[in-house]
Structure 1
Amino acid sequence: MEPLTTSSLSFTDFPEDVQICILSFLNQSELAAFASTSKRFLSFCRHDERLWCAMCDRRWGSKTLIKRWGSGKISYKRLYKTLLEYENLIGFCRRCATTARFAVESPTPLVFFEWGPFYITGSRVSPSKTGSYEVIKTPFLWISLTSKGESVNFLDLDGKQLELSENLVDSGELGVLENELIPVNVVFIGKTHFVLEENANLHWNSSNSSSSPSGGRFIKVPNSGNVRGEEYEVVSGSPGSLPDRLMSEIYQHFANRTSPGGNGSLRRQRRREKEKHGRRKLEPEHFLKIVNCSPTPARPLQGLWKGICDDMSLVFYMINYDEGIACRRVDELPVFWTSNTTSVEPPFSAEEEYEYERRIHLRPPAEVDEHLRCSDHGAVSRMLHMTSSYDLVIPGTTINPRQVEGRIWQYRNGTFGFGFLRNNYVIDLKHIAQDGHILDTMEFSND
């Protein structure tokens, strides 16, 4: 039998479509390293749109429609770099406490960003007032790109949940949305901090006249000049010497002030509309990304949770591991903490069993089930001791431990409940989101 011979293939021997498929698994820095191996691959990795389209599709194709961003006209290399930055937004963020507000005061500062077909949607997440675990998700921000690759972001003050189309995003012709959507800038400060600020470089032109160059759309205005967003007058100067042009502009100025059909009348009409709506320029608003919003096997309590309180209202909680376990409400009000993360395993002492069994589990009325309440003890997998954060405990002082001590009961289904010795109830917590989707959402109403 003749010995088998083997031959080796280099990467260049593969067809280009196979090369593109393989390279699409690389990230940007890995691709740059590969491009440095030869001049051919340097040009290929820099300019081949098929490669960058495959990289975009590989990373985000299951989450958004890659070919609809920028109306399908944007460079895929530019799109990759932009979406790589936008990806930092996806998930939960917390609005920093400031005196300024971009919209009607939300019950909580919790916001959620998710992929749309050709944009990213930011939504406020608020507890419902129905005494249930349902949450209200209200879209308030859209982040997208024009066909030129320019960022275009709109803020919805009134929570109208207006649906954007590609043509509207690309052209800015938002005549039907005047006074409902506000152009804003999204400024990234690192990967976990970003700022929303009103875009003073977009000016609303509400003229529907066919002779208007903008035709009722948002148009760009120069960065220099009127930084407060006042209307720019289009003054048609006549050719000739400077004095001639100056006299023409003066004549045009007074004509506009006196002519009923001139720009002066339109300007006064705009001013009355602004006064009617009474909206001032919006102050910048800061948001911080919640990076650890889901539990892990090593940190089972970590993340965002929701639970029914003793007043039967729904509250959002945020739990972090940092030299212990600290729990705060999303509005930053402290709830409990413990420096000891060592769990107590069953079987528990008779005193601990009584401490748990005597308690009432706070749940929505529709979910109260006596059999379920009694079977919860069998579902407890471990227990932790904790302290109330409402009370300042000074070492060496004599204080009733029942006023500050509490327990955390972890259940086998991955959730947990907590309660203090001074109370006779357990606040059972559930997940806010799972697999990137918010649970128990309900429709938002403007009524």
Structure 2
Amino acid sequence: MEVNFQDSEEIVFALSFSDFPEDVQLCILSFLVPSELASFACTSKKFVSLCRDDQRLWFSMCDRRWGSCTLLKRWGHGKISYKELYRILSEYENLIGFWRQSGITNTVSVNSPPASLVYFEWGPFYITGSIISPSKNGSYEVIRSPFLWVSITSKGELVNYLDPDGRLDFTDDLLMDSETLGFLENELIQVNVSFMGKCHMVVEENLGSFGFGKVPSSGIVRGEDYQNVCGSPPDRLMSEIYQYLANRTSPSGNGVSRRLRRREKKKQERLRKWEPEHLVKIVNCSPTLARPLQGLWKGICEDMSLDFYLVSYDDIGGIACRKVGESSKPLSLLAPVFWSSSTKFIEPPLSPEEDHIYSNRMHPRPPAESYHSRDYLTCSDNGAVSHMLFINSSYDLVIPNLAGATTNPQQCEGRIWQYENGTFGFGFLRDNYIIDLKHIAKNGLLLDTIEPCND
């Protein structure tokens, strides 16, 4: 008997979520965030306990979000709940990426470089903050100096330790035993990471006082709480606390209370080992299709020194590039290296004049890439030029009419040449070289890293 499926009625089976196997349910729910999970739990009493306490579900949620970045079962010695781990990692996930130092650096140690550019990345069971600085050997290598570790104790308490001198050789075994790190008081500094919004944080020493007790065990201080850290009441002796409370309640005790707070604040300042560091996150640190020049780059200059550059697009359609790295000045005070009021690229083929401007300039290269012939200086190893863009030098941005009035335009006019591999180089008509830029990091990984030399 032949059956015509086109004429037959289509049979549809309606399945509810509870009809799916449990592993399928966990897989589907792992795509949700806690707020969505709470809404789902309200649909049935059966799912309340599943969404609230089920370790398998919360592990699936953690694994889907961070499983490829870190070893979840090693956080907190594997003794904390995955629901608590999800909350903690959600809080500190914002650390991952590049940050730049804001304001004049307060680095205590003369051995460690200024923290102008800091990179946070996932470790097996911790987050590492490293100072990123240019190498001094004339290559594209960058020095990665770990100085801050964020981990969790077996009780679920966050501990943030800072090594300002970079003298300790941290291994996974040492960091795993995070409870013993506090005994290395002469080598490590316990710090608080204070989030002042998502793009601003403060790293400051934990001096042990916070309101009427200790700093919260999480190590996280909110913006509204950060203002109350300094000048909080003493907590070393019960008599001091009683005296403090008496002065607070006594009508004539305000003056004594203020003197005690000032005295305690001065004492804490004398004991301080690390000055607070303000860091601002570099949000757009990678190129996009719409903004191909955006992000952090590194390039070798004519004197064979390596510099870091931050290229950003503004709201009026322009592009600005500033140096970052080991500069002692905050980024806001650095004049742009180059600036363009337009992002419109010129397509090839270039005119004979433009081709002459490009082909007659040298490309500084690391010594290891040098050849006996100087031909290596006259071309880029990043491929042919795919696009070209006009740029101006820094003072033309500050004083727009200066170049046309009193200065030779060639002293401020320049070009950007974008290469086939997506990188680019820039140069000015006053110079005879092109600085070819490469990525500092790609796909979340630092490139060409070397360890600092400890003398």
TM-score range, shorter chain: 0.7 to 0.9
Check conservation: 1:343, 1:382, Cα contact below 8 A: yes
> What do residues 61-100 of structure 1 show as CA deviations (whole Å, max 9, x unaligned)?
1110111111111121121111112111111111112353
Q: C-alpha distance in 2, partners of 1:225/1:12?
A: 50
Return the match for 2:28 from 12, 18, 22. Answer: 22
> What do residues 134-192 of structure 1 show as CA deviations (whole Å, max 9, x unaligned)?
11101000001112221100000111253255786666323773311110011112222
Question: Does residue 1:300 correspond to 2:292, yes or no?
Answer: yes
Partner of 2:436: 428
2:337 match: secondary structure = strand
- Aligned-residue offset at 1:353: 1.2
- Aligned-residue offset at 1:44: 2.1
Q: C-alpha distance in 1, partners of 2:182/2:67?
A: 32
Return the match for 1:379 from 384, 397, 402. Answer: 384
Return the match for 2:360 from 358, 361, 371. Answer: 358
Q: Which amino acid letter does the alignment assign opposite residue 420 of structure 2? A: R
Q: C-alpha distance in 2, partners of 1:180/1:227?
A: 26
> What do residues 391-426 of structure 1 show as CA deviations (whole Å, max 9, x unaligned)?
543336342101111111111111111111111111
Partner of 1:275: none
Check conservation: 1:195, 1:286, Cα contact below 8 A: yes
Q: If the length of structure 2 is used for normalisation, what is the TM-score?
A: 0.78
1:172 match: secondary structure = helix
Evaluate the alpha carbon distance shift between residue 188 and residue 182 of structure 1 in structure 2; reply closer, same or farther with a 3 A threshold.
same
Question: Does residue 1:98 correspond to 2:104, yes or no?
Answer: yes
2:405 match: secondary structure = coil
1:352 match: secondary structure = helix
Q: C-alpha distance in 1, partners of 2:364/2:432?
A: 10
Q: C-alpha distance in 1, partners of 2:188/2:293?
A: 39
What percentage of residue pairs aligned between the two structures are identical? 62
Evaluate the alpha carbon distance shift between residue 196 and residue 397 of structure 1 in structure 2; reply closer, same or farther with a 3 A threshold.
same
Evaluate the alpha carbon distance shift between residue 55 and residue 132 of structure 1 in structure 2; reply closer, same or farther with a 3 A threshold.
same
Question: Does residue 1:411 correspond to 2:413, yes or no?
Answer: no
- Aligned-residue offset at 1:26: 1.6
What are the within-5 Å matches in structure 2 for residues 299-338 of structure 1?
299-322=291-314, 323-330=317-324, 331=327, 332=331, 333=334, 334-338=336-340
Q: C-alpha distance in 2, partners of 1:164/1:228?
A: 36
Q: C-alpha distance in 2, partners of 1:82/1:13?
A: 33
Instruction: Give the greater-gyration-radius structure (CA).
Output: 1
Check conservation: 1:119, 1:143, Cα contact below 8 A: yes
What are the within-5 Å matches in structure 2 for residues 93-242 of structure 1?
93-98=99-104, 100-101=106-107, 103-104=109-110, 106=113, 109-163=116-170, 172-174=179-181, 177-201=184-208
Aligned residue pairs total 389
- Aligned-residue offset at 1:310: 2.3
Q: Which amino acid letter does the alignment assign opposite residue 63 of structure 2? A: D
Partner of 1:214: none
- Aligned-residue offset at 1:18: 1.8
Check conservation: 2:150, 2:158, Cα contact below 8 A: yes
Q: C-alpha distance in 1, partners of 2:80/2:167?
A: 29
Evaluate the alpha carbon distance shift between residue 89 and residue 228 of structure 1 in structure 2; reply closer, same or farther with a 3 A threshold.
same
Q: C-alpha distance in 2, partners of 1:118/1:169?
A: 8
Check conservation: 2:168, 2:187, Cα contact below 8 A: no
> What do residues 297-320 of structure 1 show as CA deviations (whole Å, max 9, x unaligned)?
111111100011122110000000
2:99 match: secondary structure = strand
Evaluate the alpha carbon distance shift between residue 157 and residue 225 of structure 1 in structure 2; reply closer, same or farther with a 3 A threshold.
closer
- Aligned-residue offset at 1:371: 4.8
Q: C-alpha distance in 2, partners of 1:199/1:225?
A: 9
Partner of 1:51: 57
Which deviates further from its counterpart, 143-152 or 176-185? 176-185
Check conservation: 1:90, 1:115, Cα contact below 8 A: yes
Question: Does residue 1:34 correspond to 2:34, yes or no?
Answer: no
Evaluate the alpha carbon distance shift between residue 167 and residue 367 of structure 1 in structure 2; reply closer, same or farther with a 3 A threshold.
closer
Q: C-alpha distance in 2, partners of 1:376/1:159?
A: 37
1:25 match: secondary structure = coil
Evaluate the alpha carbon distance shift between residue 234 and residue 171 of structure 1 in structure 2; reply closer, same or farther with a 3 A threshold.
farther
Evaluate the alpha carbon distance shift between residue 108 and residue 344 of structure 1 in structure 2; reply closer, same or farther with a 3 A threshold.
farther
Q: Which amino acid letter does the alignment assign opposite residue 133 of structure 1? A: Y
Partner of 1:339: 341
Q: C-alpha distance in 2, partners of 1:375/1:355?
A: 12
Q: C-alpha distance in 1, partners of 2:97/2:175?
A: 26
Evaluate the alpha carbon distance shift between residue 76 and residue 153 of structure 1 in structure 2; reply closer, same or farther with a 3 A threshold.
same
Unaligned residue ranges in structure 2 (runs of 5+):
210-216, 220-227, 240-269
- Aligned-residue offset at 1:372: 4.6
Evaluate the alpha carbon distance shift between residue 164 and residue 190 of structure 1 in structure 2; reply closer, same or farther with a 3 A threshold.
farther
Question: Does residue 1:439 correspond to 2:447, yes or no?
Answer: yes
Q: Which amino acid letter does the alignment assign opposite residue 144 of structure 1? A: S
Q: Which amino acid letter does the alignment assign opposite residue 356 of structure 2? A: Y
RMSD: 3.2
Evaluate the alpha carbon distance shift between residue 69 and residue 225 of structure 1 in structure 2; reply closer, same or farther with a 3 A threshold.
closer
Check conservation: 2:77, 2:154, Cα contact below 8 A: yes
Partner of 2:213: none
Q: C-alpha distance in 2, partners of 1:188/1:427?
A: 37
Return the match for 1:288 from 276, 280, 288. Answer: 280
Evaluate the alpha carbon distance shift between residue 390 and residue 397 of structure 1 in structure 2; reply closer, same or farther with a 3 A threshold.
closer
Check conservation: 1:200, 1:227, Cα contact below 8 A: no
Q: C-alpha distance in 2, partners of 1:175/1:386?
A: 52
